[in-house]
């Protein structure tokens, strides 16, 4: 089943546009446009379908595949070229809330499976945070685990803003949602391949195909707990290196002594 006729009626009415106005915008007769809405099985040609999708700010695929009428009042629908639909949460005034994706395996596995499901997005923890000083766009918070992006510690929260593939800037840090994982890395674009780079040099770069990535979230803020002990200072590092050097010298001296002893 496709939802084309049903969606055209719903989206037009939601936009406050009449059939006459839609027909005029598309350079069609009213009867021609009305046939697209009236379950008569008439499908617009590709050029017309593209113009309709552009007017409603949705993808052409979603007009057939997504039932827009079932979305609740607490969901806003945003469409990108790489997603059929992208639900976010809003409060009663229409202000977008920030959904939080915890670092535990269950939460992240759920996100990978259901990030396009409005009911799942509604179940995520949320915060109402005034982010007027940041660039506009949908925002989400992801908790990270592991030390691949040190000095940003494990269990920190990354505030990200939704971006498309075309908006990716090389060497900036992003939350990357692939078919199988949620990663926090710097990105370098190379044709149809992305190189994901850790700030911790102990972790080698990894490649992923662009068509395996479902979402990009540009990291714009790090939220982390206050360390329980002071950070390592330059003096601490110097003392550690000096101690290590002394131990190495002791080992070398011992080896030289052994090699100098006569064979028996």
Of 66 and 86, more confident: 66
Mention every residue, 6+ apart, whose C-beta is less than 8 A from residue 40.
5
Residue 263, pLDDT score: 56
CA dist 171 and 160 (Å) reads 15
Looking at the predicted structure, is the pLDDT value of residue 74 above 50? no
Q: Which fold has domain 96-223?
A: Umud Fragment, subunit A (2.10.109)
Average pLDDT, the chain: 79
In 3-state terms, what secondary structure has residue 109? Answer: helix
CA dist 26 and 6 (Å) reads 19
CA dist 5 and 49 (Å) reads 12
Average pLDDT over residues 84-107: 72
What torsion, rounded to 10 degrees, do the Cα atoms 163, 91, 101, 173 define? 30
Residue 203, pLDDT score: 94
Which range has the worst mean pLDDT, 22-26, 65-69, 72-76?
72-76
Residue 227, pLDDT score: 58
Tens of pLDDT, residues 146-194: 999 999 998 899 999 988 888 899 999 999 999 889 999 999 998 788 9
Highest mean pLDDT among 39-48, 141-150, 227-236: 141-150
Burial class (CB in 10 A: 0-12, 13-18, 19+), 114: middle
Reported in sequence order, the residue ranges of 198-239 that DSSP labels E, i.e. its strands, are 206-209, 213-223
Residue 107, pLDDT score: 80
Which range has the worst mean pLDDT, 74-83, 93-102, 237-246?
74-83
Tens of pLDDT, residues 40-65: 778 888 888 888 988 887 777 778 77
Tens of pLDDT, residues 192-213: 889 999 999 999 999 999 888 9
Domain boundaries, the chain: 4-70, 96-223
Residue 91, pLDDT score: 62
Looking at the predicted structure, is the pLDDT value of residue 29 above 50? yes
Looking at the predicted structure, is the pLDDT value of residue 6 above 70? yes
Q: Which fold has domain 4-70?
A: 434 Repressor (Amino-terminal Domain) (1.10.260)
Tens of pLDDT, residues 246-260: 766 676 777 667 666
């Amino acid at each position: 089943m496709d939802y084309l006729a049903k969606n055209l009626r719903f989206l037009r009415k939601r936009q406050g546009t009449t059939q006459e106005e839609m027909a005029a915008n598309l350079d069609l007769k009213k009867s021609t446009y009305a046939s697209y809405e009236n379950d008569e099985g008439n499908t617009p040609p590709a050029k017309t379908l593209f113009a309709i999708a552009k007017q409603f700010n949705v993808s052409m695929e979603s007009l057939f595949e997504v039932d827009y009428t079932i979305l609740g009042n607490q969901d806003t629908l945003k469409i990108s070229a790489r997603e059929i639909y992208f639900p976010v949460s809003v409060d009663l005034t229409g202000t977008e809330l920030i959904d939080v994706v915890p670092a535990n395996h269950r939460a992240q596995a759920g996100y990978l499976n259901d990030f396009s499901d409005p009911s799942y997005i509604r179940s995520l923890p949320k915060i109402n945070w005034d982010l007027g000083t940041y660039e506009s766009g949908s925002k989400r918070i992801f908790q990270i685990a592991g030390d691949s992006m040190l000095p940003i510690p494990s269990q920190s929260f990354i505030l990200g803003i939704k971006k498309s593939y075309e908006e990716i800037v090389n060497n900036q840090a992003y939350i990357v949602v692939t078919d199988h994982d949620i990663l926090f890395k710097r990105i370098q674009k190379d044709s149809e391949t992305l190189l994901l780079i850790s700030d911790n040099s102990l972790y080698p770069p990894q490649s992923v195909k662009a068509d395996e990535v479902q979402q990009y979230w540009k990291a714009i803020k790090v939220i982390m707990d206050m360390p329980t002990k002071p950070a390592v200072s330059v003096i601490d590092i110097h003392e550690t290196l000096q101690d290590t050097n002394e131990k190495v010298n002791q080992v070398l001296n011992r080896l030289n002594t052994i090699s100098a002893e006569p064979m028996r």
